[in-house]
Amino acid sequence: MTAETPEPRANRLPLAVFVGSIVVLAVAVLAGLAFSSGSGDDAAATPTVIDDLAVTIEISDFRFQPPNLSVPAGATVTWVNHDEAPHDSEARAGRWGTGLLKRDEEHSVTFDQPGTWAYYCTIHPYMTATLTVR
């Protein structure tokens, strides 16, 4: 009566499927978090003020770093993509863009005129950032 009998094999399969589903769900949630962390207010972050005339913006983990950058007029800004995924940087106003950057590719743009540029990745539009030329 109290003796435990091993479950027949056939009854274990649904448990494996259940556990497998939990794992898949957990991965999906984590992936969702990763995506949500790459969206939203990056462009509104506190500006990183740089005085150099040569500045690099790293694209990594689906983010532009720094996401809000201020540079002096005449600065050359270089975007470098460190992700496996391709990215680009395109001004919302459409005046400039880096073109498609595959992993480890880079593109430089020189900004002579003051202004504030909102830009984003056209492949992943939730990747947003701001560049101010002062």
Summarize as ranges the residues that interact with Cu ion (CB under 5 A). Answer: 87, 121, 123-124
State the minimum distance, in angstroms, from the CB of residue 40 to Cu ion. 15
For residue 57, give both structure tokens. Answer: 């913006």
Partners of residue 106 on adjacent β-strands: 80
Name the minimum Å distance from CB 128 to Cu ion: 11
3-state secondary structure of 85: coil
| Residues comprising the chain, all counted | 134
Q: How far is the CB of 55 from Cu ion (least distance, A)?
A: 20
Q: Are 120 and 94 in contact (CB under 8 A)?
A: no
Q: Of 43 and 72, which has the nearer Cβ to Cu ion?
A: 43
- Name the strands in the sheet holding 115-120, side by side, starting at the edge strand that comes first in the sequence: 48-49, 68-71, 128-133, 115-120, 90-91
What gap in Å lies between CA 95 and CA 62, rounded to an integer?
22
Q: Cβ closer to Cu ion: 58 or 72?
A: 58
Q: Would you say 26 or 123 has its CB closer to Cu ion?
A: 123
Task: For the CB of residue 93, give the shortest distance to Cu ion in the complex, in Å.
Answer: 19
| Least CB distance to Cu ion at residue 25 (A) | 26
Nearer to Cu ion, 68 or 128 (CB): 128
18 vs 35, which CB is nearer to Cu ion? 35
**C-alpha torsion 92→69→59→63, nearest 10:** -70
